[in-house]
Amino acid sequence: MQQIKLTENIYYVGVNDRRTELFENHIELPNGVSYNSYLIVDEKVALIDPVEAGFIEEYLFKIKSVLQGRKVDYLIINHDEPDHSSSIAAVLREWPEVQVVGNAKTFAPLEAFYGPIENKKTVAESETLSLGKHTLQFFMVPMVHWPESMVTYEQTSGIVFSNDAFGGFGALNGGIFDDQVNLAFYEDDMRRYYANIVGKVAMQALKAIEKLGGLEIKMIAPSHGLVWRSNLAWVIGKYTQWSKQESEEGVVVVYGSMHGNTGVMADIVARGAAEAGIKEVKVYDVAKTEVSFIMSDIWKYKGVIIGACAHYANMFPDMTLLTHEINEFKPKDKCYGLFGGMSWSGGGVKALSKCAEEGKWNLVADSVEVKGAPIREEDWDRLYNLGKAVAEAVKG
């Protein structure tokens, strides 16, 4: 079989997953995802991060085609999460003498998932491991995005095996390297991955980027997505921007509506934002668009306007997940506005206001609640002016 080489003796042995519909069973994967793994063949052989267990046959076939009868000496575990580590038992059955390499926080959760591991090697910050001509060096990046997370740097080639950092959703459609594909196709899936996986620990991600800044990096090889060899400044710049939460000029309008009236309100709000000069206005029905896509745009744009109809004195049920995610991930530097509809006692705007208070949202305009349908001129004016006010705050 044709082998994919990062350098002369370093191989890509990852797999594509186009079958799984939900990443971590809640984030949609319309473009699939890759599970990346790497093999270094030297005097000693090191396998860096296994893959999801459902792909073990393809994975072992790729490894064996490179090794031609040689054994794996070291299995490097940068991250314990099962989408990386769940094939570890199969790897240990295939090469029972392999040493499993991790840091002081690696093995307790790993053994909680897969049982006792006999042949363990614990490495510390900046410690090195010689394979012969290649030398691995380990750097801890805790909470990017689990406590045991680390990255592995190969000194001879200048490759950083970066774990979840610099990764993204999207299966690798023939092109493995960044210079083999249209980056615009992958950018949205990278930001969606960041916003919904890494975003909660954005400051730790930024610290990890700063830590790696002292290394001579010639290539970045993450656990998901493209391998970066030509556009390092581009991907580091994107991750730095997202980690610093530097918002772009735009407004996201999200609504939850039972009978369509709050959807009409959202259009009026969006019109106010557009006529105030915002060219990037995104309108989402929270019942039709999975929350990870909405969160990705909330991470990207500065303005966020949320509307919910009332539902049994509370808000539209599907909106509760989005507000939970906003308060869980805490996107910064946003300008918020709220609106909604009611029939008799209300509850949508009241519930949104409570979420805003709990999350310390920066509300830049008075909330708008409409009784029934927006058929009165004063309702149109209030909704339009809400969109305009948020837009002016974004531009200002």
> What residue spans of 247-305 are helical by DSSP H?
261-275, 291-300
| Tens-digit pLDDT profile for residues 194-208 | 999 988 887 888 788
Q: List Cβ neighbours of 340 (8 Å cut-off, separation of 6 or more).
A: 262, 265, 307, 308, 309, 310, 315, 348, 349, 352, 367, 368, 369, 370
Contact call for residues 219 and 353 (beta carbons, < 8 A)? no
Task: Look at the block and give the residue holding tokens 């620990």.
Answer: 201
74-76 vs 45-48, strand pairing mode: parallel
Q: Can you tell me the distance from the alpha carbon of 177 to that of 121, in angstroms, rounded to the nearest whole number?
A: 31
| Tens-digit pLDDT profile for residues 370-395 | 999 999 999 999 999 999 999 999 99
The pLDDT of residue 45 is above 80? yes
Residue 254's beta-bridge partner residues?
Answer: 284, 306
Three-state DSSP state, 276: coil
Percent of the chain with pLDDT over 70: 100
pLDDT at 96: 96
Per-residue CA distances from 28 to 24, 223, 231, 316 (Å): 9, 18, 27, 21
User: CB count, 10 Å around CB of 70?
Assistant: 13
Task: Look at the block and give the residue holding tokens 């990278």.
Answer: 190
33-35 vs 27-28, strand pairing mode: unpaired
The pLDDT of residue 359 is above 80? yes
Instruction: Please provide residue 23's backbone torsions phi and psi, each rounded to the nearest 5 degrees.
Output: -70, 130
Residue type, 23: F
Q: Which domains does the chain have, with CATH numbers?
A: 4-244 (3.60.15.10), 252-395 (3.40.50.360)
Q: Can you tell me the distance from the alpha carbon of 59 to that of 367, in angstroms, rounded to the nearest whole number?
A: 54
| Tens-digit pLDDT profile for residues 279-328 | 999 999 999 999 999 999 999 999 999 999 999 888 999 999 999 999 99
Under the banding of pLDDT at 50, 70 and 90, the label for residue 92 is: very high
pTM: 0.93
The pLDDT of residue 1 is above 80? no
The pLDDT of residue 81 is above 80? yes
For the record, the structure tokens of 378 come out as 């004063």
For the record, the structure tokens of 337 come out as 């506005």
Q: Can you tell me the distance from the alpha carbon of 316 to that of 285, in angstroms, rounded to the nearest whole number?
A: 11
